[in-house]
A and B are shown apart, each in its own frame.
Chain A
Amino acid sequence: MQLTYLEAIRQGIWEEMERDPSVFCLGEDIGIYGGAFKVTDGFIDRFGPERVIDTPIAESAIVGAAFGASLTGMRPVAEFQFMDFIGCAFNQISNMVAKTHYLWGAPAPLVLRGPSGGYVHGGPFHSQNPEMWFVHNPGLKVICPATPYDAKGLIKAAIRDNNPCIFFEHKYLYRRIKGEVPAEDYVVPIGKATIAREGRDISIITYAAMVHSALQAGEVLSKEGIDLEILDLRTVSPLDREAIAQTVKKTNKVIILHEHSRTGGLAGEIAAIINEEAFDDLDGPIVRIAGLDSAIPFSPPQEEHYLPKVSDVVREARHLKGY
């Protein structure tokens, strides 16, 4: 059936709650209101207020409580109203949750999920892509799906995973894209990238909403005889090193595209992986397209300037083709 990105996530969580009584949800306004983006709309009527818990506005308490419950063998799914607010719980995630299995051998099967990303004029506190705060944090799995199929398969995989998973839902995609989602149960493996578009000239390594920008650029460039290959990472930690190396070995030219700020961004890490795995295969410089090194501004013309655009990909690809 055709589902939106948001419906796919909603269905994934719903099915896991039906399947496994140890799964429960907690977060701000997720119950009767159904969440700020309505991801959990209708859940409280079905699963009851015991399993769909409206919490105080206290992100450290939400993460702490989810972690504590996970220690008793529950599988909590905690919602951040916006992923920007995950900073409020940073210590709990970074120092408590992420380190627990390595230090004292306790698994923490929990999911922290919520909307992230720009292109909706949410301003500096409702548009961020804070995934890199956690990529640099061993012990966490960081997931950023781009399609309804992957969103559903990955939220189910995250709920079933025995480790803390941070699940970034791109809010620009929530209701803008639809895709085919099978009715039967399936999961998408965490840590595996996928080829969103096969091509032979230049690889675009990207994820989340930027996959769709890259696909649009691919359409434009195909008319010019430039054939893009688009690698959708799907999981940004752990990274699929093999898939990254493979696409570079195939096309020999690579552009890394992400929404968050350039400095210390994921592109730097991917460039280093390419250096380690496929240096001899490169026929041109590794190109980065990323957000500006500033906060993400509010006003639409400013936000548009801050964020990567389809035209940026087209321009950089044309330039790189010349090598």
Chain B
Amino acid sequence: MGTKKTKSKQSSNGNRSRNGAFRSKLNPTDLRAYSIPDLRLEHPDLTVRQAIKKDKDGAEHVRYEVEGNLNAPVPPIRDSKYLDKKQCIEIYRYMLLNRKMEVALENLYKQGKVVGGVYFGLGQEACSCASAYALDQDDWFAPMIRNQGSLLVRGFRASDTMMQYMAKADSPTRGRDGTSHFGDIEKRNMVSPISMLGDLIPVLSGVALGARLQGRNVAVMTYIGDGGQSTGVTYEGINFAAVQNLGLVLFLESNLWAYSTPSEMQYRCKDLAERAIAYGIPGVIVDGTDACQVYDAARDAVERAHRGEGPTLIEAKMMRMKGHAIHDAAAYVPKPMLDFWKKRDPIARFENYLVKEKKWLMPKENAELIAEVERIIEEEREIAVNSPMPTPESAEGGVFCEDGCHEIKPKYGVPKVKRGTGAGPKQTEAAVHLR
């Protein structure tokens, strides 16, 4: 802020920029200026690139290497504008539940009780939990694979997710799908994710559209990664929400790795929140390992949605601290980069904030809280393990909603109908395409 840029050097091709366009002759004050608020208290400058490295036999290998200040000190937690002591502790508790549930899942996997893989949100618990915590009861959300903490905040039990991973008969999908792929349109207002990335964005926008037709402005929150945002449907969905002014709260979780591909190979701009400018909607950057920043940005966006002011794009920066799934040791991640982000563990930072800085939680209370969470997870694990496997025949049925299995009616009330004076369908025959 306030530092004057020195005049940039004339480029070698004279007054032309590299793409051939003439440089603007406009007065700088005529140019539109945009800003992206950034709540972070540090701005990591790490970059990842491919480099050729020789092994001891002289053979060349392409590997990722990281550059930047890897020794920067860990920033403090930013005090929330909104959260009080009780709420902070509640979010912290959800984050603990989230992590300990995933530890339990890892153990279940090692015991051979999980069907398929396990996906982790390690390092992303603040983002999952504090974002969902900002929603009101009537709001909607749809998690991604790593937002298992969001499910806990919205009232699902750890055993629900565990049973999904174990493909049990009592799982929310009764064995038909795994992971966080389940939903509930009755009470918890959750849309089930699918494995294909970005499709939830227009779907959640449609939820907001449906609610608005029924006279309600609800916030609809969903997530996309720095990898998933490369899909075309991401653009379609955000743009649809923007032109229709729908209350989409999109968390763009920049966790730096899309499976094994670094964010540098997914997009060119500096911060993905800049994309908001192109959509004509507000964007904001938060430190995804700081629960208070995540909550504050989410709450602002949720309130905008409730006021009918349209979508918000929130970029949360953090790192995925395990592989894509349990099978992936993430050996492609440069170790110094992992060490840098280990120091920014969202739970350790929040614990330090609550126990040492704010003294809102006495060490003894903290120990009791951790023990309580561990006890809950153990109970949930027992429930999940003891659920039977589904019968083979339960694969059948339910393809269609039939024989009165659901009563469909507007969730927020009968839409108010405005009637124009148009008397009936027009009978225009003019100017028709392909007669």
User: Chain A: residues with CB nearer than 8 A to chain B?
Assistant: 7, 10-11, 14, 21-22, 24, 34, 36-38, 41-48, 50-51, 53, 55-56, 58, 60-76, 91-92, 95-96, 99-109, 120-122, 126, 138-139, 141, 162-163, 171, 175
Closest residue on chain B to residue A55 by CB atoms: B240
- Say if the beta carbon of B278 comes within 8 Å of chain A: no
B210-A71 in contact (CB<8A): yes
B205-A21 in contact (CB<8A): no
Residues of A within 8 A of B207 (CB): 68-69, 71-72
B409-A69 in contact (CB<8A): no
Interface of B is mostly: loop
A91-B434 in contact (CB<8A): no
Contact check: which of A48, A66, A105 meets B418 at CB < 8 Å?
A48
A68-B204 in contact (CB<8A): yes
Contact check: which of B176, B177, B192, B435 meets A106 at CB < 8 Å?
B192
B400-A43 in contact (CB<8A): no
With A and B bound together, what is the CA distance between A60 and B205 in angstroms?
12
B206-A64 in contact (CB<8A): yes
A104-B425 in contact (CB<8A): no
A138-B399 in contact (CB<8A): yes
Residues of A within 8 A of B434 (CB): 120-122, 126, 171
- Say if the beta carbon of B329 comes within 8 Å of chain A: no
Decide: A120 near B191, CB < 8 A? Known: A61-B202, A73-B409. Answer: no
User: Chain B: residues with CB nearer than 8 A to chain A?
Assistant: 172-173, 176-177, 181-185, 191-192, 194-196, 199-211, 213-214, 220, 232-233, 235-237, 239-240, 243-244, 398-402, 405-406, 408-412, 414-429, 432-435
B424-A106 in contact (CB<8A): no
B182-A68 in contact (CB<8A): no
Residues of B within 8 A of A60 (CB): 199, 202, 232-233, 236-237
Decide: A104 near B177, CB < 8 A? Known: A120-B434, A121-B434, A162-B401. Answer: yes
B202-A74 in contact (CB<8A): no
Residues of A within 8 A of B201 (CB): 64
- B72 → A minimal CB distance (Å): 40
A72-B410 in contact (CB<8A): yes
With A and B bound together, what is the CA distance between A65 and B214 in angstroms?
15
With A and B bound together, what is the CA distance between A62 and B239 in angstroms?
11
A68-B202 in contact (CB<8A): yes
With A and B bound together, what is the CA distance between A47 and B420 in angstroms?
6
With A and B bound together, what is the CA distance between A194 and B172 in angstroms?
41
Residues of A within 8 A of B192 (CB): 100, 103-104, 106
Question: What is the count of residue pairs linking A and B with beta-carbon distances less than 8 angstroms?
Answer: 228
With A and B bound together, what is the CA distance between A36 and B433 in angstroms?
6
Residues of B within 8 A of A108 (CB): 401
Residues of B within 8 A of A126 (CB): 434
Residues of A within 8 A of B421 (CB): 45-46
Central interface residue in B408, B416, B417, B435, by most chain A CB within 10 Å: B408
Q: Contacts A21-B414, A103-B176, A104-B182 given; 6 further ones with Cβ under 8 A?
A: A53-B209, A60-B236, A67-B203, A68-B205, A71-B203, A74-B214
A41-B426 in contact (CB<8A): yes
With A and B bound together, what is the CA distance between A24 and B214 in angstroms?
12
With A and B bound together, what is the CA distance between A37 and B405 in angstroms?
37
Residues of A within 8 A of B433 (CB): 36-37
Closest 6 CB pairs of A and B: A68-B206, A64-B202, A72-B210, A69-B210, A65-B206, A45-B422
Decide: A73 near B210, CB < 8 A? Known: A61-B236, A68-B205, A95-B196. Answer: yes
Residues of B within 8 A of A76 (CB): 206, 210
With A and B bound together, what is the CA distance between A71 and B195 in angstroms?
19
A14-B424 in contact (CB<8A): yes
Residues of B within 8 A of A63 (CB): 202
- A107 → B minimal CB distance (Å): 4
B214-A72 in contact (CB<8A): yes
Contact check: which of A10, A22, A92 meets B415 at CB < 8 Å?
A22
Residues of A within 8 A of B204 (CB): 68
- B138 → A minimal CB distance (Å): 11
Residues of B within 8 A of A44 (CB): 420
B399-A103 in contact (CB<8A): no
Residues of A within 8 A of B425 (CB): 7, 10-11, 14, 41-43
B419-A46 in contact (CB<8A): yes
Residues of A within 8 A of B181 (CB): 103-104
Closest residue on chain B to residue A160 by CB atoms: B408
Residues of B within 8 A of A50 (CB): 213, 418
27 contacts between A and B (CB under 8 A): A24-B415, A41-B428, A42-B422, A42-B426, A42-B428, A47-B420, A51-B213, A61-B205, A64-B202, A65-B244, A68-B207, A68-B208, A69-B213, A71-B203, A95-B199, A96-B203, A99-B194, A100-B192, A101-B400, A101-B401, A102-B399, A103-B192, A104-B183, A104-B192, A122-B434, A163-B400, A163-B402
B239-A56 in contact (CB<8A): yes
B213-A34 in contact (CB<8A): no
B208-A107 in contact (CB<8A): no
Contact check: which of A103, A121, A141 meets B173 at CB < 8 Å?
A103
Closest residue on chain A to residue B430 by CB atoms: A38
With A and B bound together, what is the CA distance between A287 and B426 in angstroms?
43
A91-B196 in contact (CB<8A): yes
- B379 → A minimal CB distance (Å): 25
B401-A163 in contact (CB<8A): yes
With A and B bound together, what is the CA distance between A14 and B426 in angstroms?
11
Decide: A107 near B398, CB < 8 A? Known: A42-B426, A45-B422, A120-B434. Answer: no
With A and B bound together, what is the CA distance between A80 and B411 in angstroms?
27
B203-A107 in contact (CB<8A): no
B233-A120 in contact (CB<8A): no
Closest residue on chain B to residue A126 by CB atoms: B434
- A90 → B minimal CB distance (Å): 10
B206-A175 in contact (CB<8A): no
- B187 → A minimal CB distance (Å): 13
With A and B bound together, what is the CA distance between A34 and B192 in angstroms?
34
Central interface residue in B199, B208, B406, B434, by most chain A CB within 10 Å: B434
Residues of A within 8 A of B239 (CB): 56, 58, 61
Central interface residue in A64, A75, A126, by most chain B CB within 10 Å: A64
With A and B bound together, what is the CA distance between A287 and B427 in angstroms?
41
Contact check: which of B209, B400, B426 meets A69 at CB < 8 Å?
B209
Residues of B within 8 A of A24 (CB): 213, 415
A68-B210 in contact (CB<8A): yes
Decide: A65 near B202, CB < 8 A? Known: A22-B414, A42-B426, A104-B172. Answer: yes
Contact check: which of A92, A104, A171 meets B199 at CB < 8 Å?
A92
- A226 → B minimal CB distance (Å): 33
Residues of B within 8 A of A51 (CB): 213, 415, 417
Central interface residue in A48, A61, A96, A101, by most chain B CB within 10 Å: A61
A91-B418 in contact (CB<8A): no
- B243 → A minimal CB distance (Å): 6
With A and B bound together, what is the CA distance between A122 and B432 in angstroms?
13
